[in-house]
Amino acid sequence: MDIDADQLLTFLVVAEQGSLTAASRVLHRSQPAISERLQKLAEQVGEPLYRREGRGIRLTGAGTALLEPARKLRAALDDTAQAIVRRRRLQDDALRIAATPTLAHYFLPELVAAFQGRHARVRVHLKGDITDRRQIALGDWDLLFFDGGFDRAHLPPYYRVQPWREEPIACVVGPQHPLLRLPAVDWTDVLRFPVIWRDDGPGVREALAAELAARGLAAPFLLEVGGVDAVGAAVAAGAGIGFVAQSVLAQRPDWQVKPLALPGAETLHWTLYVAAPEPPYQSAGVRSFLALLSGKAPSRLAT
């Protein structure tokens, strides 16, 4: 028996929307056209798939049994569409990267430059202002770089998330801060002063909160600023104590801040992640960039 995929997918939309009227709006089809498809599907099944109930429908046992196969069909078609998109991108020589602000500004430029040095013909699009997964349609981007605080709940099933860097976190104070005059500084000394938090950097915040919790401590949320650059400016102005990635600190000698040596601070790390499609959906550019992350970049794109 040949099952018409369009009939099955139409039935799925009707079942999920709860009425033919709502499904008509979603599918941009007339209700008679939808009814015709459902009738033909019911004839193949040999029994009704739903019954009208008020302005909506109620699935029969046969209709309920079709839901899971229909969802699997839709997922398979979505996967196929993504594979086709990836193959087309392989041919248009472009790599699309989305990232949270700090990663885009301080961690990715060197990698992008190295990638372009090997693959000069590939156009790289870097979107560096992502603070929420809902800001982007992942189907439009090849790679997503983020820290531990990023919402991963809605990543497509064909994307794999893996850590790509463990970044040490430094504690910094202003150049005239009183803690700099102490012969040794403990965590309790630090927490006598306001801690400056980032509203776009929950990954650093989570790492610091976990470190403090392990020591039976907690820092109050007294001052929150927008971004790592704002942290550097606030610390330099004497507004409080900041925690920033050491790589960022190394790139900003203009901040006029001083690092503090804290006992056990070597365990304080910020985990950075990359979300990439599974190998069957990776373009040649994606494979090459991922290889660059792992230090195994090929000399040319293999298509």
Say if residue 161 is in the same domain as residue 277: yes
Work out the widest C-alpha separation in the chain, in whole angstroms: 85
* Residue 282, in any domain of the structure: yes
Looking at residue 104, the DSSP 8-state letter turns out to be I
Give the mean model confidence (pLDDT) for residues 146-155: 67
What's the CATH code of the domain at 142? 3.40.190.10
Instruction: Kindly state the percentage of the chain with pLDDT values over 70.
Output: 86
- Residue 207 has a CB neighbour count (10 Å cut-off) of 22
**In terms of C-beta density within 10 A (0-12 exposed, 13-18 middle, 19 or more buried), how is residue 57 classed?**
buried
Q: What total number of domains does the chain contain?
A: 3
Give the E-state strand segments of 133-194 in sequence order: 143-147, 159-173
pLDDT of residue 78: 80
12-15 own/partner pairs: CB under 8 Å, 24+ apart: 12/66, 12/67, 12/70, 12/71, 12/74, 14/38, 14/50, 14/57, 15/50, 15/57, 15/59, 15/63, 15/67, 15/70
Over 90: is that where the pLDDT of 148 sits?
A: no
Residues ≥6 apart with Cβ < 8 Å to 230:
198
Of 82, 99, 126, which marks where a domain is finished? Answer: 82
Say if residue 171 is in the same domain as residue 241: yes
What's the CATH code of the domain at 20? 1.10.10.10
Residue 89 · residue 116 · CB < 8 Å:
no
More confident residue, 124 or 155: 124
For 221-256, what is each residue's pLDDT tens digit? 678 887 889 999 999 999 999 999 999 999 999 999
For the chain, how big is the Rg over CA atoms in Å?
26
Over 80: is that where the pLDDT of 87 sits?
A: no
Dihedral angle sign, alpha carbons of residues 177, 183, 186, 188: negative
Over 80: is that where the pLDDT of 208 sits?
A: yes
Residue 114 · residue 159 · CB < 8 Å:
no
Say if residue 188 is in the same domain as residue 69: no
Over 70: is that where the pLDDT of 171 sits?
A: yes
Distance spanning both ends of the chain, measured CA to CA: 39
Say if residue 277 is in the same domain as residue 264: no
pLDDT of residue 154: 64
Say if residue 156 is in the same domain as residue 285: yes
User: Can you give the residue range of the structural domain that contains 44?
Assistant: 5-82
Per-residue pLDDT band at 301 (split at 50, 70, 90): very low
pLDDT of residue 133: 56
Give the mean model confidence (pLDDT) for residues 214-223: 80
Say if residue 236 is in the same domain as residue 99: no
Of 54, 82, 110, which marks where a domain is finished? Answer: 82
Please name which of 271, 231, 278 lies closest in space to residue 252, comparing C-alpha atoms: 231
* Residue 301, in any domain of the structure: no
Could you give the count of Cα atoms lying within 13 Å of 192 in the half-sphere of its Cβ?
Answer: 7
Say if residue 223 is in the same domain as residue 173: yes
Say if residue 281 is in the same domain as residue 228: no
What's the CATH code of the domain at 190? 3.40.190.290
Say if residue 42 is in the same domain as residue 184: no
Say if residue 54 is in the same domain as residue 43: yes
Mean residue pLDDT of the chain comes to: 84
More confident residue, 298 or 288: 288
* Residue 298, in any domain of the structure: no
* Residue 101, in any domain of the structure: yes
- Residue 285 has a CB neighbour count (10 Å cut-off) of 26
Over 60: is that where the pLDDT of 135 sits?
A: no
Please name which of 294, 286, 273 lies closest in space to residue 103, comparing C-alpha atoms: 273
Of 63, 82, 101, which marks where a domain is finished? Answer: 82
Could you give the count of Cα atoms lying within 13 Å of 230 in the half-sphere of its Cβ?
Answer: 12
* CA distances from residue 274 to 20, 67, 124, 298 in whole angstroms, order as listed: 41, 33, 16, 19
Per-residue pLDDT band at 181 (split at 50, 70, 90): very high
Say if residue 155 is in the same domain as residue 97: yes
Per-residue pLDDT band at 76 (split at 50, 70, 90): confident
pLDDT of residue 300: 43
CA distance 66 to 48: 12
Say if residue 280 is in the same domain as residue 157: yes
* Residue 303, in any domain of the structure: no
